[in-house]
Structure 1
Amino acid sequence: MMKYTVGAYAASPNQSHWEPALETAFYAALKTLPNLKGLEHPFLGRLHPHDDNWFLANIDPQWDYVFTCIPGIMTALSQNEQFGLAALDESGRQVALAFMQQACAAIGKLNAYLGRKAVSAIQIQTAPARHNAASSAAALKTSLQTMLQWDWQGARILIEHCDAYVPGHAPSKGFLALSDELEVLTELNRQLPAQQPLGMVINWGRSVFETRHVDGALEHIQQAKAAGLLAGLMFSGVSDRDSEFGAWRDSHQPPQQSALMPLGEPGSWLTEQAMHACLAASDAASLAVLGAKIGIRPASAGIDQRLATISQTLAMLDRFFTPS
């Protein structure tokens, strides 16, 4: 059975507040998913955004983890537009490196608690937003050279491509172009041991947001694969249609509603056909990171609906690997 990484934090009932009992019930429900490999875990400066001890007490000891830094990066950018590993502003770059050191320490804390190297990868993003602050591939390379000197305890450093700044439409993230990111990764990998290369994760929704067409993610997968750098694929939806998720927003829409995805979003561009095309193009079974990150609306939705939406999304992936 294929198992998948799930960005369950996007589907949590605790989006605007923190109720430990509610989150405990949500995690208990997640543990019932047979095809859940583990969590894409949000990093905001400490192991858990609210309570490290709660997190350690409620995770499944068998889960594996992929840290994602985007929640912490976006929080930091709201306070300092110069923040980022690719920043030309040296103070902004150093603050971002300090944030990454905190991530490295959090990975160590989780691994120590579980008694194993449970974190397989950390996804970094190439802030700052180019429409607000200057950034460059050279600054990113310098930051990564520093990070590669730290002990990541087996976690691979992967760039998750977010929407690059494109003149003509408002960005969500507006970070470096995919070509710049791939160039830096290629240069650094020449100097690294073959068993722990840097790599690229494509997020379906963010690539489609950038390109404004449904095959945008497929094109980015092909570019990363051609460079020998494709290491992950995460599915989140996006749409040009206004809804509770918003038009052209990085709000992690579920896949498009269908007979097999009754809890889907009618306007979502993420169809099962699009997902399967990307899986076929990416040699999906060999990827280090594969899964989905799905938001839930309305905000008042119960845990049963949240779990069912995740389960239906993962079933779409399963149908690629085990077609009827």
Structure 2
Amino acid sequence: MKYYLGAYAASPNQNGWNAQLETAFYDELKALPNVKGLEHPFLGSHLHPYDDRWFLANIDPAWDYVLTCIPGIMNALGQNPQFGLASVDESGRLAALDFMQQACTAVGQLNAHLGRPAVQAIQIQTAPARHNAPSSKAALQASLQTLMSWDWQGARLVIEHCDAYVDSHTPSKGFLALADELEVLTQLNIHLPAEQHLGMVINWGRSVIETRRVEGALEHINAAQAAGVLSGVMFSGVSDQNSEYGAWCDSHQPPRLSEQVLHGEPGSWMTEQAICQCLAAVDSAEQLLVLGAKIGIRPLSASIEQRIAYVRNMLAIFDRYFAVAP
């Protein structure tokens, strides 16, 4: 088995850009035998946050790609709280569609460079934050109908569920509720051929941030699967402890330290057992369109060797699961 890696979260370039350092990091990534490709951040306009030329010159041409729009969406929300595909404010919704048009162009650029349809999926998120600006299912449905009219060159459109707004605590993202997202997806899929169906990706950490329970991620996986739209699971940890990662922060904590996970975070709620329970809940986990991990590394001064050790340990959990899975 091979898996997607949100490598940008583990990059040594968290506070600036050093091309030589990133090249060394990517050389190590390309040597990992169980990396299928990258969950790559899209911030708008360009393929890479710093240097498109560098990116195209250093990626493995055999990798596949999943573009995630969350970094660009969060940047846009910082400038305009009304921004988002689910925004009731029409100018904010149209701004989000313009951003997605740029993402569509980026898909074409990456595929053209590689000479094949390498981008397998686009992860979209249902901004705006509901505690700052109103959003609705109707606005999201209208946006998705527009997106479906564009040529994505075979890449599937999938909603990555982020923590929804709830009254009990301050959210990290605060986007639409899972039930609302699932309702929109299932309604739209009725009119689409199977190969064009819209999907849902569950991010383990973001579901736990929302529910404040480890079981919350499993419940979200089960709900998406019951609705017939589960397309992927990305594993990213979280904790209630105020460590360098922060309490209840979407900082992509590694899995919990254990006898088998030698490079991990002691306070992480994402244990190997929790990961395996989620994988076991999926009818055919090995057939998911998107399956992988995104982990951040602390301290930020960690060496490339340390960063790769964390990544190896994370992916080894998947390998151990699939080695014995029925």
Q: Which amino acid aligns with 1:105?
A: T
Determine helix, strand or coil for the equivalent of 1:228. Answer: coil
SS in 1 for 2:21: helix
Q: C-alpha distance in 2, partners of 1:15/1:82?
A: 27
Give the structure 1 partner of residue 238 of structure 2.
238
Deviation at 1:40, TM superposition (A): 0.0
| Mapped partners of 1:169, 1:251: distance in 2 | 18
Output the CA distance in 2 between the equivalents of 1:73 and 1:279. 28
Residue pairs, 1:183-262, within 5 angstroms: 183-262=183-262
1:290 aligned onto 2:301: no
Residue 14 of structure 2 corresponds to 15
For 1:72-151, list aligned pairs within 5 A.
72-151=72-151
Deviations along 1:262-286, one digit per CA (max 9) or x if unpaired, are 1100000000100000001013111
Aligned-partner Cα distance in 1 for 2:17–2:140: 34
Task: Please give the per-residue CA displacement for 1:170-214, whole angstroms capped at 9, x wherever unaligned.
Answer: 100000000000000001111111112100000000000000011
Q: Kindly provide the amino acid, as one letter, of the partner of residue 149 in structure 1.
A: S
Q: Which runs of 5+ in 1 are unaligned?
A: none
Corresponding position of 2:35:
36
Q: Which amino acid aligns with 1:316?
A: I
- Separation (CA, whole Å) in 2 of partners of 1:260 and 1:32: 22
- AA of the residue aligned to 1:125: Q
SS in 2 for 1:321: helix
Q: Does 1:310 align with 2:311?
A: yes
CA distance, structure 2, for counterparts of residue 273 and residue 260 of structure 1: 11
For the aligned residue pairs, the C-alpha RMSD in angstroms reads 0.8
Instruction: Determine the structure 2 residue equivalent to 1:163.
Output: 163
Q: What corresponds to 2:321 in structure 1?
A: 320
Q: SS of the residue aligned with 1:195?
A: helix
Q: CA deviation at 1:323?
A: 2.9
- Counterparts of 1:266 and 1:242, CA distance in 2: 12
Q: Distance in 2 between matches of 1:192 and 1:311?
A: 39
Aligned mates of 2:196, 2:304 — CA distance in 1: 38
Aligned to 1:299: 300
TM-score of the aligned structures, taking structure 2 as reference length: 0.98
Q: Distance in 2 between matches of 1:286 and 1:323?
A: 16
Q: C-alpha deviations, 1:90-147, integer Å up to 9, x for none?
A: 0000000000000000000000000000000000000000000000010000000000
Residue 279 of structure 1 aligns with an amino acid whose one-letter code is L
Flag structure 2 segments of 5+ consecutive residues without an equivalent: none
Identity of aligned residues (%): 72
Q: Deviations over 1:33-71 (max 9, x none)?
A: 000000000000121111111100000000000000000
Report the counterpart of residue 177 of structure 1 in structure 2. 177
Q: Does the alignment pair 1:67 with 2:73?
A: no
The ranges of structure 1 where at least 4 consecutive aligned residues each deviate by more than 4 angstroms after the TM superposition are none
- Count residues with an aligned counterpart: 323
- Residues in 1 aligned to 2:196 and 2:263: alpha-carbon distance in whole angstroms: 39
